[in-house]
Amino acid sequence: HRQTKLTSILDTPVPDSEQTITIGNDGSIIIPAVACSNPRQNTNAIICSKSFLGGMQLHCKRRDGKQAPVMLEYTFDVPQGGPYILTAFVVTVNKDQKLLVSANSEETSATIHLPYTSGMWLQSVPVTLSLVCGRNVLRFTRHAPHAGLAIKHFFLCPQ
């Protein structure tokens, strides 16, 4: 029965309505965590599910040191290039968690230090990224070992 439930969760598609990236009049951008361009569906490491806040959330499962890094990509268009402040709206139940992020083909990444939220939704510490006008790709990486992490959305604000 447990395997049937897991298979059901892994096979659940994310509705298009939950993948809408929003750009505000001030140029701010909200990227739902479930709007991944890669992977496009649930995996053994990443599960998209309903959120108690409404809508959906993405869960990066706990990984031991022997497993490959978890990687997420988001592809979106930006109306104006330049520096943007990025934060993530997250839930953690373990201390000292982080998420690496790079923009486009940059080889260097910024480290997002995630707050210990005690199971409550909180905003991460901000990092600054350089985005180009037009198409951009954000790549997030979590190297094992790491604890579980739930992400509701990413928020980008032009500086």
pLDDT of residue 88: 97
Closest by CA to 31, choosing from 70, 72, 91, 61, is: 72
pLDDT of residue 87: 98
- CA pair distance 47, 138, nearest whole angstrom: 19
- Report the amino acid identity of residue 42: N
pLDDT of residue 91: 93
pLDDT of residue 52: 83
Q: pLDDT digit of tens for each residue in the chain (159 aa)?
A: 455 555 555 566 777 888 899 999 999 999 999 999 987 777 777 888 888 888 899 988 877 767 778 889 999 999 999 999 999 999 998 888 899 999 998 788 999 999 999 989 999 999 999 999 999 999 999 887 777 899 999 999 999
pLDDT of residue 126: 97
* Whole-Å CA distances, 57 to 31, 46, 103, 128, 151: 11, 10, 22, 23, 6
Closest by CA to 115, choosing from 125, 105, 107, is: 125
* Maximum alpha-carbon separation in the chain: 51
Residue 17 φ then ψ, to 5°? -60, -25
- CA pair distance 156, 87, nearest whole angstrom: 7
Residues whose CB is less than 8 angstroms from the CB of residue 6 and which lie 6 or more positions away in sequence, other chains included:
none
pLDDT of residue 131: 96
Q: Is the dihedral of CA 92, 155, 20, 46 positive or negative?
A: negative
pLDDT of residue 31: 97
